[in-house]
Each structure stands twice: as structure tokens, then as C-alpha cells.
Amino acid sequence: MLDLPALYAHRLGRVPGPDSSRAALDATLAIGVDGLETDVCLTADGRLALLHDPWLQTGTTGFGWAHETPWPALSTLCLRDHRGVPSAESPLLLDELLDTAPAGLTIQVDVKTHGDPALAVTTARAACRVAEQYPDHQIEVISFHGAACAAAAELGQRARLIVWAEYAPDALGAWARAAGVHGVCVEHFLLHADLVARLRDEDLSVTTGTINDPELARRVARLDVDAITTDDPRRLRAGADQASARSTAMILG
């Protein structure tokens, strides 16, 4: 019987959503998961808002950039659902998430900026300052921005680089060791046994990008990844239970 690795709810659970909303958080915690993933954007007044995109038109009823908008203004916006329709949900702060999430749960904080490494570093450092106030939480700073991951690691925070290519894993490992970055999040379709082994040889923790199909989840589970990121943890768990039941039925004849 194949067990799934830890399941992390992407954007606090895109199913049911909206992304990184209070409703998504409450529903996901009711289901039970091993970790939560959310995006953070720095506001004009130095707060960390849970927004997938710093360009406000993408996911909210607002306009402009998150880093140019103070939190009091952001807090009045409505989050859009997966169809782009405004919902009744407003953005949350990282502090609010950490106040609500059970102690010991892994919280992945994905630093988001558009083409601005300096802002990514500033955002990562702000996330580390917030994390210091919640020592009972297992907080990871993750990002597509290598500079953000390195900045978090420099401050003693666990950091994970998100990668969409399998290019030069040895070079990636050397960079991660030098920067103090402990892991990578790799898009699942790139993962195979040799790549995972090479990343492990570099002492890197390996998690996946978003997987919502139970069979695809079982494929990467066979590679012994540390965690799977998913919009729909309930579906993956149900799929694993069904596969286990079929396996048991075959054994019993």
C-alpha cells in the first residue's frame, strides 16, 4: 500500500477558495492538512497581505500595485474567485493566518513580486520578522526569487526555491549550500527518480508544485518526495483511500 506524503494546501486551499481567504482557510483546517501555502505581498505601510499577485487587478477588486497601497485600503477590497468574480472575502494579513493556524503546522510563505529582486528581499525579511513572533509554527519562506530565499536563509529562516526546470541540479545544490537554502519545490511533471536522487545527494528537501489528480499524486509519492502541494487535499486523500481499498480487495481475493 502506498501512502501519500504530507499534503500542503495551495493558496490555503483553492478548492473551495477564494485563494488565500478566510473561507478557504477555515474549510481547509476543517478537512485537516499537513501544511498551508500562501502568497505574500508587501504593502506600502510594511504589512504582509495574503495576495497571489501584487498586481491588484488580477485577484482583487483593487487597482495598482500592492507595495504602493497601504493595508487599510487593501483590507477593504474583495478577493476574486477562480472565475474572476468578486467574492465576499477580503484579504488577510500573514499575522491573521498565523494567529489562526494550529501550532506545529507547516506554513509556506511564498514571496511574490514582479521583476523586483530588491522588493523580494525586503518582503522576505519582513516575513522573517513576522515568523520570529510565532516560534511554535514551522514556517518556510519560499519563492521563485532566489534572492528572497537567500535573504530568508541568512536570517536563519527555512527557505525553499521554487523551480520550473531540471537544469543543472548540481549547480542548484551548490548555490543552495552556499546560500543556506534547505529545499526546492519542483513542478511535478519534471520529477523522476534520478532527479530526486540527485537533489537528495545535494541534501535538498524536495516538494512538488500543485497536483490535483490522485493518480499523479501517487506517481510522485513513489519518488519519496517530502510533500505534495494541492488545491484539493480532500480529493487526493479520497483517491488514496480508494486505491488502498482496491489493493486490499485484490489481496483478499
Assigned C-alpha cell, 15: 478548492
Assign domain 6-252 to its CATH superfamily.
Phosphatidylinositol (PI) phosphodiesterase (3.20.20.190)
* Residues paired with 142 in a beta bridge: 110, 160
Residues facing 140 on adjacent strands? 108, 158
Element (H, E) at 141: strand 138-143
pLDDT at 105: 94
Per-domain boundaries in the chain: 6-252
Burial of 230 per CB tally in 10 Å (0-12, 13-18, 19+): buried
Q: What is the pLDDT of residues 130-187, one digit of tens each?
A: 999 999 999 999 999 999 999 999 999 999 999 999 999 999 999 999 999 999 999 9
Q: What is the pLDDT of residue 129?
A: 98
pLDDT at residue 16 in the model: 86
**How many other CB atoms are there within 10 angstroms of residue 150's CB atom?**
20
The 10 Å CB-count burial string (b at 16+, else e) for 153-185 is: bbbebbbbbbbeebeebeebbebbeebbbbbbb
- What pLDDT is stored for residue 241 in this prediction? 74
Asked whether the CA dihedral 96, 99, 101, 104 is positive or negative, the reply is positive
181 in Cβ contact with 206 (< 8 Å): no
Contact criterion met (CB below 8 Å) for 222 and 2 = yes
pLDDT of residue 243: 64
Query: What is the model's pLDDT at position 168?
Result: 93
Residues forming beta bridges with residue 42, ordered by sequence position: 48
| Alpha carbon 244 to its chain's center | 27
Question: What pLDDT score does 128 carry?
Answer: 99
In which residue ranges of the chain is pLDDT below 70? 1, 243-253
Interatomic CA distance for residues 250 and 197, integer angstroms: 32
CA distance 123 to 144: 13
